[in-house]
Amino acid sequence: MDREPIVAGRFYEDDPKRLAEEVAGCFTHPRGPGALPGRRGRGGIRAVIAPHAGFMFSGPAAAHCYKQIGEATAPDVFVMLGPNHTGMGRTGICLQDFLTPLGRVKVDRELSRELIAGSPLVEDLHAHQFEHSLEVQLPFLQTVMKDRSDTLRIVPIVVSSGYRLDAIASHIASALERSGKTATLIVSSDFTHYGPSYGYEPFGRGAKGRMEAQDRQAIGRILALDDAGFMGMVDETGMTVCGYLPITVLLKVLKAQGKAAGECLCYYTSGDIIGDRENMVGYASIVFR
């Protein structure tokens, strides 16, 4: 049994041909990287942080990350970390393969079970059943890994609240080291959700510049691998970064593995796409090498 797509036809096209065109359009969009990935082999990518809204909003930002992945040396596995928007289930891994209109994405069950053994992570389909944050990454991943579709493997992890992030990160880092597999981590997160629709207006209505400055300050702490500073900022400001837990896990994993050089490739808001300055979401594309 496979994990069926739940936001196809809403967040992205549900027809394979139209979806392929939609993804390609994200790369060539004025806010995208300008082109689909070129020749592969520019070294490895350790991790990316990519947004997960509807493709018309966040797709061009996500495309920046996936162009880097498509041009990098292909890893053995992609470990994917996303937030739990639904509140269902626990911090868990789905062992079912994922379906999208572009086909099946296989789960690395061997590594997934290694991660589950003796750790806070559990097998939990319920956490993934109606969660979109990882699903919306897959059409991009399938597109840029088309030349490696036979060997493409993922470990999908939903990170819920109330769990020891240190223990989760430590277990991921040690399990990857024991496995001997090369891995790229993909964290799915939008940044600040601002405005009356989101119940977050610390700067008043239409305060786009101050919202962006706050997001960029948080991005600076992420690039510095300052997990404590990033979490402290989220706690202090209440900023509505939906993937702050998986981002924190990522930073702890990267610190456990050694130094990583980060770069913010792109940042804009949904207001830059549709002109709504009252209710906005920030989208960033971040890569670590």
The contacts of residue 68 (CB under 8 Å, 6+ apart) are 45, 48, 265, 287
Its pTM stands at: 0.97
Alpha-carbon span 171 to 121, nearest angstrom? 9
Alpha-carbon span 222 to 179, nearest angstrom? 27
For the chain, which domains are there? 16-288 (3.40.830.10)
Q: Which two tokens stand for residue 207?
A: 């305060």
Interhelix angle 227-237/208-223, nearest 10 degrees? 150
Alpha-carbon span 239 to 223, nearest angstrom? 18
- CA dihedral over 149, 286, 53, 61, signed as positive or negative: negative
Alpha-carbon span 95 to 9, nearest angstrom? 24
The letter for the amino acid at 212 is: E
Q: Specify the pairing of strand 153-159 against strand 103-107.
A: parallel
Per-residue pLDDT of the chain (289 residues; tens, 9 = 90+): 899 999 999 999 999 999 999 999 999 999 999 999 999 987 899 999 999 999 999 999 999 999 999 999 999 999 999 999 998 989 999 999 999 999 999 999 999 999 999 889 999 999 999 999 999 999 999 999 999 999 999 999 999 987 789 999 999 999 999 999 999 999 999 999 999 999 999 998 768 899 999 999 999 999 999 999 999 999 999 999 999 999 999 999 999 998 899 999 999 999 999 999 899 999 999 999 9
Cβ atoms of 233 and 218 within 8 Å: the answer is: yes
